[in-house]
Amino acid sequence: MKNYLVKLSIMISLVFFLFNAAWAQSNINFSKGQTVYVPVYSHIYTGSKGASFDLAVTLSIRNTNPKRPITISIADYYNCGGKLQKRYIEQPIKLNAMASHRFVIVESDRTGGSGANFIVKWKSEHKSNPPIIESIMIGTKSKQGISFTSRGQVIEALSD
């Protein structure tokens, strides 16, 4: 009986492991391209009087595909009113497998405001792992420092 329970336990564990591995693999949303909205903050408000705290912004785009490149065609910066502030890409940028690229907005640039964003468009010749697109904000004032990140949100996917 004890031997039977050990075998049953091993079989249940194996089925659970295989099910989880298959579920994780099927949970990847491969795509040939996407438009991604990325929230960024050129400054935030602190304290009871709402004093502003200026932040430097880094937009980071990381190709997570270990075998294939992707192409970044748009990285446009919009202010909190939805007005285009700057186009960061003049020519498409090829990101090789596992490569990354960044765009920086300096701490003294307050043009975006507290509700700024980037729109990033990427594409691939083949279905690919989607890149990680995120913003990193950091600022210092006196002896105080703050940093945080925001992850991009897909707002449109290329249809096959």
Sketch the domain layout of the chain as residue ranges: 29-157
- Structure-model confidence comparison of residues 101 and 4, the more confident one: 101
Residue 109 backbone dihedrals phi, psi, to 5 degrees: -85, 105
Q: Which of 67, 57, 59 is nearest to 36 (CA)?
A: 59
pLDDT, tens only, 42-58: 999 888 888 888 999 99
The Cβ-side half-sphere exposure at 138, using a 13 Å CA radius, reads 4
Residue length, the chain? 160
Give residue 100's Cα distance to chain centre.
11
Is the per-residue pLDDT at 66 higher than 70? yes
Distance CA 153, CA 155 (A): 6
Percent of the chain residues topping a pLDDT of 70:
82
Whether the per-residue pLDDT at 99 is higher than 80: the answer is yes
Mean pLDDT of 60-67: 96
So what CATH class is 29-157? mainly beta
Q: What local confidence, expressed as pLDDT, does residue 46 receive? A: 84
Write the pLDDT tens digit of every residue in 67-85: 999 999 999 999 999 999 9
Which regions of the chain does DSSP assign to beta strands (E)? Answer: 31-39, 43-46, 51-54, 56-62, 70-78, 84-87, 93-95, 100-105, 117-128, 132-141, 144-151, 153-157
pLDDT: is 25 or 55 the higher one?
55
% of the chain with per-residue pLDDT over 90: 68
- Give the span between the Cα atoms of 67 and 70, in whole angstroms: 10
Whether 4 has a pLDDT exceeding 90, the answer reads no
Q: What pLDDT sits at residue 10?
A: 61
**56 Cβ contact partners less than 8 Å away, ≥ 6 residues apart:** 104, 105, 106, 107, 137, 138, 139
Q: What mean pLDDT do residues 139-153 have?
A: 90
Which pLDDT score is estimated for 80?
94
